Amino acid sequence: MNFSLIEILAAGSATLAVLMCGITSLKAQLQALACQTALFAGICVLVGIQQHAEHFLILALVIFLLKAIGIPLFLGWSSQRMGIQRDTGVTLNPGITLMMGFGALLAGYFLTPQFAVQSAGNPICAGISLALLFIGMLLMITRRLAISQVVGFLVMENGIFLYGLTQTHGMPHLVEMAAIFEVLIAVLIAGLVIFRINRSFEHIDVSKMRTLRH
């Protein structure tokens, strides 16, 4: 099996994402998210070297600083202020969620031919990005705490950016940078809203916020 270095890093990213499905402590989840995003920044650097474009290196730096270090720190600080780091907050048994995460990886593997762009190389990355998308959605569905849902959303965004990086050539870099910044702003606003929710409800358990019915 010759895997290029990009595919190795992507596979590591996917492994971390699958394992994240079974991690219940918020602190460990944030650490896993940070590692996964750091791997993804590495992929960005490699793509930049491959395509001889400097803006990918700047993008990789931005991703590393903001998404791999900044956001986990911010979310960790928020959760510490709210005092919820011990709460597990899962709706589904973590063991079963792990199996479903692996199933998502399998789904990505089987759907790769549909999504891969052959001429861009790294066809495995298309399947892995799909798997990250599914795992992100799985995390959002099976977690009760609002912050864990944000973590799932970030995993999803990682998958989408992975697809854009590896399968497309010549994506306007302003769009990618703006997308990253908007994700950052979205996380900041989400953090603010979660803080208000905690102050108002005394918890951030979304399964208990069901007052608005049909």
Partner 1 sequence: MNKLLLLALCPMIIALLGLVPRTARWLPKIAAVLMIIQLPIVGWLCSLIAKGEMLAYGPFVMDGIGTAFTVITTLVAVTSMIQAAMILPAERIMENPRMTDRRFTLFYTLSALFILTMYAVPLATHLGYLWIMIEATTLMSAPLIDYHRSRGALEATWKYLLLCSVGIAFALFGTMLIFASQHGLPGGGTMIFNHMIKQAQAFDPRLLRLGFVFCLLGYGTKAGIFPLHNWLPDAHSEAPSTVSALLSGALLNCALVAIWRLSQVMLASSQAALVHQLLVPAGAITVIAASLMLVSQHDLKRMLAYSSVEHIGLLTLAIGIGSGPVFILQAFNHSIVKVAFFLLAGNILYLSGTKLLSKLSGILKTVPLWGILLTVAAFAIAGSPPFGVFISEWLLLSKTFAAKEWLAAIMVIVGLTVTFIAISTHIGQVLFGKKINPLRSAPVWGWAIVPMSLLLISLLAGVSVTPSVMNMLTNLVNR
Partner 2 sequence: MNNYLLLLFNLINLIFIPLLLMGVIRKVKALMQNRIGSPILQPFYDLAKFLRKSETISQTASWVFLWNPLIGLGVAVIAVLLVPWAGPLLPPSWAPATNFLLIIYLLSLGKFFAMLSAMDTGSAFGGIGASREATISMLAEPALIIGLGALALGNGSTDLLTIFSNPSNPFIAGLVGAALVILALAELSRIPVDDPTTHLELTMVHEAMILENSGPNLALTEYAVALRSCLFFGLAMQTLMHIAPGFYQLELFPRYIISLAGLLGLGALVAVAEGVMVKLKWRSVPNFLAFGTVLSLLAALIAVWPK
Binding site for partner 2 (CB under 8 A): 1, 8, 11, 15, 18-19, 22, 24, 93-96, 98-99, 101-102, 105-106, 109
Binding mask 123-152 for partner 1 (x = CB under 8 A): ----------x---x--x-----x--x---
Residue 83 binds which one of partner 1, partner 2, none, with CB within 5 to 8 A depending on kind?
Answer: none
Q: Report the residue number, 52 or 214, with the smaller CB distance to partner 1.
A: 214
Residue 172 binds which one of partner 1, partner 2, none, with CB within 5 to 8 A depending on kind?
Answer: partner 1
Residue 197 binds which one of partner 2, partner 1, none, with CB within 5 to 8 A depending on kind?
Answer: partner 1
> What own/partner pairs with CB < 8 Å and gap ≥ 24 does 184-192 have?
184/66, 184/67, 184/70, 184/71, 186/153, 187/71, 187/74, 187/75, 187/150, 187/154, 188/74, 190/146, 190/150, 191/74, 191/75, 191/78, 191/150
Element (H, E) at 196: helix 173-201
Work out whether 7 is an interface residue with partner 1 (CB under 8 A): no
Work out whether 212 is an interface residue with partner 1 (CB under 8 A): yes
C-alpha closest to that of 138 among 130, 205, 189: 130
Please check whether residue 14 is in contact with residue 39, taking contact to mean a CB–CB distance below 8 angstroms: no
**For residues 128 and 15, what is the distance between their CA atoms, to the nearest angstrom?**
10
What is the three-class DSSP state of 78?
helix
Work out whether 167 is an interface residue with partner 1 (CB under 8 A): yes
**For 89, left (φ over 0), alpha (ψ -120 to 50), or beta?**
left
What are the structure tokens assigned to 17, written together?
Answer: 């994402």
Residue 18 binds which one of partner 1, partner 2, none, with CB within 5 to 8 A depending on kind?
Answer: partner 2
Backbone angles phi, psi at 86, to 5 degrees: -90, -15
Could you say which DSSP state residue 170 is in?
S
Q: Figure out which of the listed residues 153, 203, 205, 207 binds partner 1, where binding follows CB under 8 A.
A: 153
Residue 19 binds which one of partner 1, partner 2, none, with CB within 5 to 8 A depending on kind?
Answer: partner 2
Residue 15 binds which one of partner 2, partner 1, none, with CB within 5 to 8 A depending on kind?
Answer: partner 2
The residues of the shown chain that bind partner 1, judged by CB under 8 A, are 114-115, 117, 119-120, 133, 137, 140, 146, 149, 153, 156-157, 160, 163-164, 167-172, 174-175, 178-179, 182, 185-186, 189-190, 192-194, 196-197, 200-201, 206, 209, 211-212, 214
